[in-house]
Chain A
Amino acid sequence: MATKEKRGSEKVMAAWKARMLTEASIKEIAASFEKSPATIEGATFVGGERSTGLSLSLSYEGDDGPWCGNDILFWLKWHLSHGGNPRPPRIIINGTPFPDLVRMELDFGHVHAGEQIGGIQELASEIGTAGFHG
């Protein structure tokens, strides 16, 4: 009977990676970014009513730039508690060696790899069009 089925543990793991965001986990994100100097430029939920992931577009100006490291640390800890299938943060730094502006996109939970959610990819092309170079 059904010996070719997947292992139960594989299905548990798949469900863990794709499970819905909980209200509590979203509140944790909100609380953390209230403390952050980052400007939230965009927030996109993935999965509609049964959201599995949240993508945040953030910007940090001037001296606030290094704070993005604190937010990445929170992002890592959040995934330890809530699971998901994290994609590395995408970061654009404008101005070296002293950044004027840091833009970062963070995905929480499971944002499918192929899913186009706008944000920094569009931003990068806009920057490219406008001749905005880091």
Chain B
Amino acid sequence: MAESSPTGVAPVLQVHPTRLCNIACAHCYSGSGPTVRGELPLELLSDCLEAAAGLGYRQLAVSGGEPLLYGPLPELLARAREVGMLTTVTSNGMLLTPRRWEPLADLVDVLAISIDGTPEEHDLIRRREGAFARTVANLEFARAWGGPFGFIFTLTQHNVDSLEFVVRLAAAEGARSVQVHPLTLYGRAEATMSGARPDEIELAAALCEAAMLAHELGIVVHLDAVTADQLLAHRDLLVPRRPVRRLIDVAPVLVVDADGIVIPMTHDVSNSLRLGSLHEERLDTLAANWLEAGDGDRLAVACEQAWVELTRTTPPLAVYWYDAVAAWTRAGGPSRPALELVPALR
């Protein structure tokens, strides 16, 4: 059985092998698009997978750009299987044709397809008229495949009312789950959607909607947020113990962006806490150096600082935990940079 992490799921290696995408979504945190180039070689990622498995990562999540446009995707997924990882692929679904899917069908454990609301809302955020219709038309191939597929819905300040539509669509189309991911203001989203990050009220409303819809429709609806009660009750799961000895203890999600940069937790963690580039060192070397330099402890301190700040008075109704920690690593809360606090806390 795969080792679980503080998030309750097997530690995830999230790889963005290419920035090439057939569309240029407004909320894209990787700045991908049809004219954007930048792709990681298969050999580099194969080495990364082997090292990641050795470090305890048990799931490969391939995102993008559009993963279906990454030529060696079948080989990458096969390599992940070889090292004992589960595989998930996140796609916008527009290119999910039998010709593209057939080579992948036996290599994917879960397929995630992005659906961001009603047809009008989806097309608006995807910045492509007809995107919704094309994606939904291609769901027949996902059903024909027979493996588990789900939807991913990006929650903003303005769209929790569309979650019901998406969950009902999931139920009608045979999807098993809906993952609700709060908008990350990074990459293109920072410029095009500033002010759209969901606040605590929207997160709490989404949690209520998710629970109600899951109960009614029998679909798994998971939101990447914790309630105030969960925040208070699970400090031990949210704040890693120091000294940090293993990467997976402080970074149960490890991101590899299309430049080969390795980032703990989420894209918008402070640059100073990145592990480095796969073009320079293998992942296991980067991880060892990072821990040796005390960066794992610094990230753990940021977790502690975020937790202390959030619970100092009345906690928020709900919070996107990784986003809160990332904010601490960048700015250190209301007054002081978090990293300046580190020596006092260590």
A binding-site residues for B, Cβ under 8 Å: 1-3, 5-9, 11-12, 15
Contacts and interface: CB of A to CB of B under 8 A. Distances in A.
A9 to B, nearest CB: 4
A10 to B, nearest CB: 8
Interface residues of B, number: 23
A86 B99 CA distance: 56
A123 B251 CA distance: 70
A14 B162 CA distance: 13
A6 B125 CA distance: 16
B192 A7 contact: no
B205 A8 contact: yes
Interface string B194-209: 1110100110111001
A6 B158 CA distance: 6
B139 to A, nearest CB: 25
B157 A7 contact: yes
Give the residue among A5, A7, A11 with the most B Cβ atoms within 10 A.
Answer: A7
Contacts of A5: 157-158
A125 B194 CA distance: 57
Contacts of B205: 8-9, 12
Interface in B140-158: 155-158
Contact of B161 (A1, A2, A3, A15): A15
Q: Which 3 A-B pairs have the closest CB atoms?
A: A8-B160, A9-B205, A11-B161
B55 interface: no
Nearest to A8: B160
Contacts of B192: 1
Interface of B: 26, 124-125, 155-162, 192-196, 198, 201-202, 204-206, 209
A8 B202 contact: yes
Given A1-B192, A8-B206, A9-B201, 8 more contacts: A5-B157, A8-B155, A8-B158, A8-B161, A9-B161, A11-B160, A12-B161, A12-B209
Contacts of A11: 160-161
B196 A8 contact: no
Given A8-B205, A12-B205, A12-B209, A1 B193 contact: yes
B195 A8 contact: no
B46 to A, nearest CB: 38
B26 A8 contact: no
18 contacts: A1-B26, A1-B125, A1-B196, A2-B124, A2-B158, A2-B196, A3-B194, A5-B157, A7-B160, A8-B155, A8-B158, A8-B160, A8-B162, A8-B202, A9-B201, A9-B202, A11-B160, A12-B209
